[in-house]
Structure 1
């Protein structure tokens, strides 16, 4: 469902957010819009690159009432801006932070493209209104779903960019875009189905002994922490969250390093080292 808020409602909700929450919303909303603009309107022949977008969600708020969110200004005319477009000269590297009027007058960008860039405000509002509306309705980051995903390794297909987005929204305790929320539910459901099938039909590497089970490292750590009676509930959650985040970061680092190796070399390394290692590891990780 598309949610459209009034400018007054939008500013009222922004006024209840922390600086960290505002930064997260702005970052991912602007990333989406900037990507679309770069794809559609900045092509060869234009002497400027669009390198950034900014907007001031508290533009109409009095300066004395603002805590730490700085105002935006046009570097050409000095006027305060609600929407700021950051362009860089392809010839000199000179950067200007402009409003829509100066974008045409000072940068010399075709007025048709300027109008399209200016209309990006509608896209900004469309994406941010979904988050703001959910937040106003008391929705927050889906911690329970996230914990279930981590516990059963349902996040193994996530790329670094998507994982960073999820962790940013988690850190700010913001509701997710509906597409991202649906992806979490889908990944969790798919992983649960995989585990059910493994339990029903047996893992291909599992030995024929009903008293043994293949346990992933994340599930193993979770079981140990949950059973530790020296920790209270809060300490268990903090310990588990820290441990699982470290495992995730290590896995991401390994994946990133491996990805820069040429594909032909990846296959050679996998055949020579990784596959034999996984076969040995699968045998020793089966525990009672």
Structure 2
């Protein structure tokens, strides 16, 4: 097993000070994605009235004196690094909490809160190993990654965390974790030796599950955008119009009008159709980035969404689609009111 070294808060901050803003944001998205995956895998809140809606991370939390973004807060007013968003299954009420207040505000058992905290600690250790590698002079293995991409080594593996992390880290020249590097190297040497791998039925099912998990996390990000718009005073009819426009934009220039509404539907589709639905969902997310990018209070949401798009090799772009122009008129009201 890999030896993992935990950094102190000061050691972590010292290394982070040498990273660019884009590198810090990429690390933040890696952390958030890993935590979201744990929530979906471990079903932490299954026995409670609460369901997990999403998670926001402040990548600049340690920089109290030169913080370049917006702070995150718990419902109690405490400043947060990790903000968890929970929704009551019975009342629909939403909470914005730090992990230490799960029991106090949501009556979530202390045992569950400890399990979630243990997951955060494990992910932080994983991130520390990346920071230590960066400090030691390691950077992203661009040549190997590009060779694998050129040889279509990631075909049928686009839903893997390895591929998405490579897309994020390659842009900002961050080193991979040792285990990720070994996985990339394995694919690299297989391709060098001319080995072609045919997917087994089990691997196809896993890939379909990975795509469904990605779709669900993108859908949660869109839900957070809609909640933000409602909380900032957008009328229901305007919000309904935005949702409708986002779907029309996502389906623009596509032959199909098929648009799923639940991630479970992906599990019975062919891989081709599942990939198509993921691409449609990513395009819908890009719609929200474009209409909210100039709203200052939506900065963190937009940054997170952009990282998701980059992880899937997708860009938000700037479209002249009528629905985007119409939606921007609604969000301009938020800029005036704020």
Secondary structure of the structure 2 residue equivalent to 1:88? strand
Cα deviation code 1:26-81 (max 9, x no counterpart): 22223223322443352533111223344445434333x22x2432211x211112
Alignment partner of 1:85 is 2:91? no
Using the TM superposition, give the Cα deviation of residue 174 of structure 1 relative to its aligned residue in structure 2, in angstroms.
1.0
Secondary structure of the structure 1 residue equivalent to 2:194? helix
Secondary structure of the structure 2 residue equivalent to 1:84? strand
Question: In the alignment, is the contact (CA less than 8 A) between 1:19 and 1:69 conserved in 2?
Answer: no
Look up the match of 1:130: 129
Look up the match of 1:181: 181
Question: In the alignment, is the contact (CA less than 8 A) between 2:25 and 2:59 conserved in 1?
Answer: no
Look up the match of 2:20: 18
- Following TM superposition, where does structure 1 have runs of at least 4 consecutive aligned residues deviating by more than 6 angstroms? none
Cα deviation code 1:142-185 (max 9, x no counterpart): 11112222333333342244433321111121111222211211
Separation in structure 2 between the aligned mates of residue 157 and residue 261 of structure 1, nearest angstrom:
13
After TM superposition, the score normalised by the length of structure 1 is 0.61
- Unaligned stretches of 5+ residues in structure 2: 197-265, 275-338
Secondary structure of the structure 1 residue equivalent to 2:193? helix
Question: In the alignment, is the contact (CA less than 8 A) between 2:6 and 2:128 conserved in 1?
Answer: yes
After TM superposition, the score normalised by the length of structure 2 is 0.53
Separation in structure 1 between the aligned mates of residue 54 and residue 71 of structure 2, nearest angstrom:
16
Using the TM superposition, give the Cα deviation of residue 186 of structure 1 relative to its aligned residue in structure 2, in angstroms.
0.8
Look up the match of 1:45: 47
Separation in structure 2 between the aligned mates of residue 25 and residue 97 of structure 1, nearest angstrom:
22
Q: 1:81 to 1:41 in 2, by over 3 A?
A: same
Pairs within 5 Å for 1:1-288 = 1-40=3-42, 42-56=44-58, 58-63=60-65, 65-66=66-67, 68-74=68-74, 76-162=75-161, 163-194=163-194, 259=271, 261=273
Question: In the alignment, is the contact (CA less than 8 A) between 1:30 and 1:124 conserved in 2?
Answer: no
Cα deviation code 1:173-218 (max 9, x no counterpart): 111122221121111111121279xxxxxxxxxxxxxxxxxxxxxx
**Which has more radius of gyration?**
1
Secondary structure of the structure 2 residue equivalent to 1:144? helix
Q: 1:54 to 1:94 in 2, by over 3 A?
A: same
Separation in structure 2 between the aligned mates of residue 155 and residue 44 of structure 1, nearest angstrom:
34
- Unaligned stretches of 5+ residues in structure 1: 197-255, 263-288
Separation in structure 2 between the aligned mates of residue 14 and residue 54 of structure 1, nearest angstrom:
19
Aligned length: 200
Separation in structure 2 between the aligned mates of residue 56 and residue 95 of structure 1, nearest angstrom:
20
Secondary structure of the structure 1 residue equivalent to 2:86? strand
Using the TM superposition, give the Cα deviation of residue 8 of structure 1 relative to its aligned residue in structure 2, in angstroms.
0.6
RMSD (CA atoms): 2.8
Cα deviation code 1:80-133 (max 9, x no counterpart): 123332212222333221123432111111122122223333113211101111
